Amino acid sequence: MTLHLDLPRTEGASPAPGSTARSGAVVEFRGVTKDYGALTVLQPTSLRIEAGEFFAIIGPSGSGKSTLLGITAGFVVPSGGSIKVAGVDVVATPPYHRNFGMVFQNYALFPHMTVAENIAFPLRMRGFPKAEMAAKVQRVLEMVRLSGFGDRKPAQLSGGQQQRVALARAAVYDPLLLLMDEPLGALDKNLREEMQEEIKRFQDALGATVIYVTHDQHEAAYMADRIAIMRGGTLEQIGSPRELYEKPESIFVASFLGEASLLPVLGVSAGRGSDVSARIGSGLVVEATAPRSHGSADAICVRPEAILLGDQAQGMDNVFRGRVEDAVYTTGSIRYRVWLEGTDLLLTVRIPSRPDIALLEAGQKVTVGWNRRDALLVAGD
C-alpha cells in the first residue's frame, strides 16, 4: 500500500539495486499527542528521524507505538502537535496524499491479481504510463529477488515471498518514507530471521527512511540504526541498539531490551569520576558506574554475558560467592541462574557453550564476578 503526497524530492531519488544512496526524508515529530476523551494514549512526543535512517519503535502492548505509526500514516488524527516530512507539515494531509509506503503484517495483497499487478496497482491508480509501470515493477522485483515471479498469484507464493511482494509494492515509486507495522509477525522464527536480512538489504538498496514498529526486541536490534522504547504513551529512551543495551537509563529499558540482572540498591557512595560504591542486600557492596545523567539510583544492571564464573571471576572488581539455582542449555550458550550467597538476589549468567566446559549442577557453589564498568546504576519507575 502506498500513500501519496507531493513533497520535495532529494537528489537521486531512484537508487539502483545495491545502492546506498540516502533518498529518504527527515521526519520531525514536535509535541505530537493523542487523546481519546479523558484518556491520553500518547503523551507529547518530539523526536527527529534522519533521512535514510532505519528507526524502530518498540514497547509493550498499549505503549503508544502503533498510535504513533498510525498518526504518521494519517490513519489516526493527532490531538496536537506537528509532523514534518522533508520540511512539510503533513498533519492536515489525507493519508492517500502522503508519499509513504506502508507494509502490514498480513501483506494485504489482492489475491485475484498477479504479483506484477499487485506491485503495479499504486502506479496504475496514479495514471503512470504502461511502459514506465513495467520498468518500475521489474526494478523492484529485482530488488526483492523475485524476478520471474511476476505472473504468479499470491497463493502460489510462500509467506516470505508474499512479504517481499508487499515490500516491492510499498516501494515501487521510491517513497520518501516506509512505514512498517509488525511486518514479520505472521512468519515462523526461521523465516522471520531470513526476512530481517531481506528487509535490511532492501532498505539499504532503496535508501528510504524507515519507521518500523515491532514487539520483538531482537528484531529491532538486528535491523535498526536507532530504537525508541515506549511505555505508557511516552518515549522512555532513544538510542542505537548498543547504547540501549549497554547504557540503559531505567529498570524498564534494562529489562525490556535483553536479559539483565537487576540488583536493588540500598545506598550509594560517590567515588572518583563516574565510579560509585553501591550497597545491595545483606551488606554486600558492588563497585559500579553511574551515567552522566544519573539521578536516582534504584538498581544495578549487569548483563548476563558480563558475569564470569569460577576461576575466570578472580581479579574482577566485584567477586562474590554464589549457588547455582539451575542451568539451561540453549543454542550456542549455557544460561545459569545463580543466587548471591547470603541474599535473596538472583543473577542471570550466560556463557558460550564449548565441549570442554562442564555443566554446573543445581546447588553447586561457585564464584561469580564482574567489572565495575559492567555494573550500571539505573533509575526505577
- DSSP-assigned letters across all residues of 99-168: -EEEE-TT----TTS-HHHHHHHHHHHTT--HHHHHHHHHHHHHHTT-TT-TTS-GGGS-HHHHHHHHHH
- Whether 149 and 70 have beta carbons less than 8 Å apart is answered as no
* φ, ψ at 68 (rounded to 5°): -65, -40
Buried b (16+ CB within 10 A) or exposed e, 8-34: eebeeeebeeeeebbbbbbbbbeebbb
| pLDDT exceeds cutoff 70 at 367 | yes
Report which listed range, 5-9, 60-64, 98-102, 105-109, is most confident.
60-64
- Whether 334 and 327 have beta carbons less than 8 Å apart is answered as yes
- Whether 99 and 126 have beta carbons less than 8 Å apart is answered as no
**Average pLDDT, stretch 42-70?**
96
At 295 the pLDDT is: 62
The strands making up 346-352's β-sheet, listed across from edge to edge, are 308-309, 365-370, 318-330, 333-340, 346-352
| pLDDT exceeds cutoff 70 at 10 | no
**Average pLDDT, stretch 13-19?**
38
Looking at the chain, list the stretches that DSSP marks H as alpha helix, in order from N- to C-terminal side.
65-73, 115-125, 130-143, 159-170, 189-206, 217-223, 241-246, 251-256
Chain position carrying cell 534504584: 298
Chain position carrying cell 526524508: 25
Of the candidate ranges 101-105, 155-159, 307-311, the one whose mean pLDDT is the lowest: 101-105
Copy the grid coordinates of residue 160.
516470505
β-partners of residue 206 are none
At 186 the pLDDT is: 72
- Whether 176 and 100 have beta carbons less than 8 Å apart is answered as yes
Contact partners, residue 175, CB within 8 Å, separation at least 6 = 2, 99, 100, 101, 208
**Average pLDDT, stretch 83-109?**
89
- Whether 328 and 334 have beta carbons less than 8 Å apart is answered as yes
At 147 the pLDDT is: 92
The CATH number of the domain covering residues in 2-246: 3.40.50.300
Which residue spans of the chain are classified as CATH 2.40.50.100?
Answer: 251-378
β-partners of residue 83 are 29
The CATH number of the domain covering residues in 251-378: 2.40.50.100
End-to-end CA distance of the chain: 39
Buried b (16+ CB within 10 A) or exposed e, 141-164: bebbebeebbeeebeebeebbbbb
Of the candidate ranges 79-88, 133-142, 287-296, the one whose mean pLDDT is the lowest: 287-296
Which residue spans of the chain are classified as CATH 3.40.50.300?
Answer: 2-246
Confidence of residue 381 (pLDDT cuts 50, 70, 90): confident
Report how far residue 308's alpha carbon sits from residue 370's, in angstroms, rounded to the nearest whole number: 6
Element (H, E) at 30: strand 27-36
Choose between 292 and 129: higher pLDDT.
129
Contact partners, residue 295, CB within 8 Å, separation at least 6 = 379
Confidence of residue 143 (pLDDT cuts 50, 70, 90): confident
**How crowded is residue 344: how many other Cβ atoms within 10 Å of its Cβ?**
8
**Average pLDDT, stretch 325-340?**
93
Chain position carrying cell 520483538: 216
Confidence of residue 6 (pLDDT cuts 50, 70, 90): very low
| pLDDT exceeds cutoff 70 at 3 | no
**Average pLDDT, stretch 94-111?**
86
In 3D, which of 69, 88, 125, 75 has the Cα closest to residue 6?
A: 88
Report how far residue 135's alpha carbon sits from residue 69's, in angstroms, rounded to the nearest whole number: 31
Report which listed range, 110-114, 126-130, 200-204, is most confident.
110-114
**Average pLDDT, stretch 89-93?**
95
At 22 the pLDDT is: 53
Confidence of residue 294 (pLDDT cuts 50, 70, 90): low
Confidence of residue 293 (pLDDT cuts 50, 70, 90): low
Choose between 15 and 314: higher pLDDT.
314
Averaged pLDDT of the chain:
89
Structure confidence by residue, pLDDT tens digits, 146-191: 999 999 999 999 888 998 899 899 988 778 899 999 888 877 878 8
Which SS3 state, helix, strand or coil, does residue 313 take? Answer: helix
Confidence of residue 303 (pLDDT cuts 50, 70, 90): very high
CA dist 22 → 54, 206, 207, 210 (Å): 11, 8, 4, 11
**Average pLDDT, stretch 252-257?**
93
The strands making up 177-181's β-sheet, listed across from edge to edge, are 2-3, 100-103, 177-181, 209-213, 54-58, 226-231, 234-239
| pLDDT exceeds cutoff 50 at 129 | yes
| pLDDT exceeds cutoff 50 at 20 | no
How many degrees, rounded to 5, is the angle at CA 164 between CA 160 and CA 165? 120
